[in-house]
Amino acid sequence: MQSRFLHILVVFFAAVLLLAGLSTGFMRHLSASPGSNTETQLLFIEVGASVSSVAKQAAAKGLVREAWHFKLATRWRDLDRSLHAGEYEISPGVSLYETLSRIEYQHTYKRRLAVPEGASVSDVETLLRESFGLDMSGYMPPAEGSLLPETYYYERGDAAVGLVVRMQAAMDDAFEQMWWSRAGNLPFTDSREAIILASIVEKETGLASERELVAAVFINRLRQGMRLQSDPTVIYGLTGGVPLGRGLTRSDLRSDTPYNSYRRGGLPPTPIANPGKASIAAVLNPANVAYLYFVADGTGGHAFATTLAEHNRNVARWRRIEKNTP
């Protein structure tokens, strides 16, 4: 009797071990199987999403052949109660094991937002609203000139407010590092005025080789009490940072706004854009030249002059180029 019981017990445990081995083998095979997706897919797990809903999404995207495969694998890896919310990029041929590992270790997909140098706050708001997955709840336009143009990464569902805070912190850090190595005898005493002038330089030229020269022109004018006479300041006064969409007219140049640097002396009341690091650096360390004027030269750059007579010749040359350009 006892030997029969022992025999049954041995058979039972052997069956258990066999089933366990088969189960483990099946799960390893299942986990190693690649998805059927032929293109990269994004799997988005919302906060509080059930395993069933995520499994259905994974199957619909071809990341697993059947939804129950996903559910079974998450249970086997003890992830069925802790699927981390986020968006995950799954390439073709990625196994279910790799997919679950990305979720377990929160290797989330990062989306890219590039803020170009010279973008206004209005431009940045448009970029934010057009960027997929950003939550615009509670968004309020930040101060002009407070954001550092750069490439930023975010995750789907992130708040735009938080991204703006990062842009502002990046600007503060970048400016602070450059402020302490500024040249002496600059015609401004605080960061606000430096950013205002940097924003004008940013809008006046896109050539790296010219930034320090353009900055020198405006700084020389400020030192001598001359008006800046910058077209971009006039445009900002008319549109508030939105593109004008046409050329400036004489009527525009006579417009009486706080930003019209043809009619008013000194700096405008605020920046007219968000300047990049290079324009800030140019304002803080301008070229050592006596230039007071510049005008387009027809090559994408500018012709600089020290005297009004020389500048007038450059202007006449530019007018001829304009006239002969189709």
The CATH number of residue 37's host domain is 3.30.1490.480
Domain of 40? Answer: 33-109
Query: CA-to-CA distance for 58 and 74, rounded, in angstroms?
Result: 12
Looking at the structure, tell me whether residues 156 and 217 fall in a common domain: no
Please choose, from the candidates 146, 155, 196, the residue with its C-alpha nearest in 3D space to the C-alpha of residue 174: 146
Report the pLDDT value the prediction gives residue 224, as an integer from 0 to 100. Answer: 95
Q: How far apart are CA 90 and CA 40, in angstroms?
A: 6
Residues 158, 128 share a domain: yes
**Structure confidence at residue 4 (pLDDT):** 55
Q: Which among 62, 94, 109 is the end of a domain?
A: 109
Query: Domain check: are 224 and 255 in the same one?
Result: yes
Which residues of the chain are modeled with pLDDT < 70? 1-32, 325-326
CB atoms inside a 10 Å sphere around CB 254: 11
Token output for 21? 């081995």
The answer as to whether 132 is a domain residue is: yes
As a three-state string, the secondary structure of 177-234 is HHHCCCCCCCCCCCHHHHHHHHHHHHHHCCCHHHHHHHHHHHHHHHHCCCCCCCHHHH
What is the pLDDT, as a whole number, of residue 31?
57
Q: Do residues 194 and 317 both lie within one domain? A: yes
Structurally, the chain folds into a number of domains equal to 3
pLDDT digits over 242-254, tens only? 999 898 999 999 9
**Where among 63, 78, 109 does a domain terminate?**
109
Q: What CA–CA distance (Å, rounded) separates 160 from 189?
A: 33
Q: How far apart are CA 275 and CA 195, in angstroms?
A: 7
Q: Which of 109, 129, 156 is the last residue of a domain?
A: 109
Query: Do residues 65 and 93 both lie within one domain?
Result: yes
User: Do 83 and 51 touch, CB atoms closer than 8 A?
Assistant: yes
In total, the chain counts a number of residues equal to: 326
Say whether both 222 and 310 belong to one domain.
yes
Kindly give the residue spans of alpha helices, DSSP state H, lying in the chain. Answer: 2-32, 51-60, 67-76, 96-104, 121-130, 160-179, 191-204, 211-223, 231-239, 250-253, 277-284, 308-324
pLDDT at 2: 53
